[in-house]
Amino acid sequence: MIKREIKHFNIEQICRSGQCFRMEAMEKGRYRIIAGSRYLEIFQSGEICEFYCDDRAFENFWFDYFDLGRDYGACIEKINPRDTYLMQAAEFGSGIRILHQDMWEMIVTFLISQQNNIVRIRRCVQNICEAYGKVCVTEDGTVYYAFPEPEVLAQLDEDDLKACNLGYRSKYVVRTARAIADGEVDLDRISRLSYKKAKEELLKLFGVGDKVADCICLFALHHLEAFPRDTHMNQVMEKHYKRGFPNRRYKGMQGIMQQYIFHYELFGKQKE
């Protein structure tokens, strides 16, 4: 077990922020995360976090996964104090971090996310993993399912994933899996590209539009300049940023600001 005091880290906020769909609450303060074929449990009380893994796993994987090397307080300090809306959003979601997730998993996840809600997305991802993922067992006997590889889903018929509640999105996932398995799409190459070029390549995938491409760039490739926008986010921009979001001021951290806004719109307004 690794114990750390971490500022601007709130596992509950991260869990419900809409960037990861294999993270869930187990009991008060305790969460579990499945990333690819890895499994982690976290217990948090205030700024004290307990990561139930060994030193090697923490340093080589989870430290980067949770972006623990970044000073999110410094990002918040750069917010224009006259922008009361963004100040409120950042204060409300100050424990959010941009996760550094697997690109293939994010491609599938955000193909599923189209015209969908967080609860249903979680269920769809779980269904796929249980149906096609490798069965894994932790040292204490906990059974979980790894995220299925592209080669596995590439063998399916285009409508097979409808059984996992994907609906019309089934063909998006299967066709993309085939493109990757056949070598038409090289994820390693895309991972080395700039944000602009990576997004251009992702837009070539069947079913991937601007918003999905930006989500993949932000949550997998960690291009923090990505700013995913759907219809709801466009409404927010029209209401609060009629002249456009101040990208120059927040250069290199636009995606962090987007997450503060997204989370605030989902949960902050309920408390007003």
- What φ, ψ does residue 168 adopt, rounded to 5°? -65, -15
pTM: 0.93
Report the Cα 48 to chain-centroid distance in Å: 23
The verdict on residue 67 lying in a domain is: no
- Structural domain including 153 reads 103-219
Separation between Cα atoms, residue 4 and residue 1, nearest integer Å: 10
69 class by beta-carbon count within 10 Å (0-12 exposed, 13-18 middle, 19+ buried): exposed
Dump pLDDT digits (tens) for 50-80.
999 999 999 999 999 999 999 999 999 999 9
The verdict on residue 133 lying in a domain is: yes
12 class by beta-carbon count within 10 Å (0-12 exposed, 13-18 middle, 19+ buried): middle
Tell me, what CATH number does 135's domain have?
Answer: 1.10.340.30
The verdict on residue 135 lying in a domain is: yes
Separation between Cα atoms, residue 240 and residue 234, nearest integer Å: 10
The verdict on residue 25 lying in a domain is: no
- Single out the catalytic residue among 211, 242, 269, 271: 211
Q: Would you say 68 and 100 are in contact if contact means Cβ atoms under 8 Å apart?
A: no
Respond yes or no: is residue 196 known to be catalytic. Answer: no
Q: Would you say 257 and 93 are in contact if contact means Cβ atoms under 8 Å apart?
A: no
Please tell me the total count of domains within the chain. 1
Q: Distance of CA 128 to CAs 163, 170, 251, Å? A: 9, 11, 37
The verdict on residue 96 lying in a domain is: no
Dump pLDDT digits (tens) for 18-29.
899 999 999 889
Structure tokens at 113: 């996310």
The verdict on residue 77 lying in a domain is: no
pLDDT along the chain (272 residues), means of 10: 96 93 92 96 96 96 97 96 96 96 96 87 95 94 96 96 94 96 94 97 93 96 95 92 92 96 85 50
Structure tokens at 39: 């499994």
Dump pLDDT digits (tens) for 229-262.
988 899 999 999 998 999 999 999 999 999 999 9
The verdict on residue 199 lying in a domain is: yes
The verdict on residue 10 lying in a domain is: no
10 Å Cβ neighbour count for 110? 27
Separation between Cα atoms, residue 236 and residue 238, nearest integer Å: 5
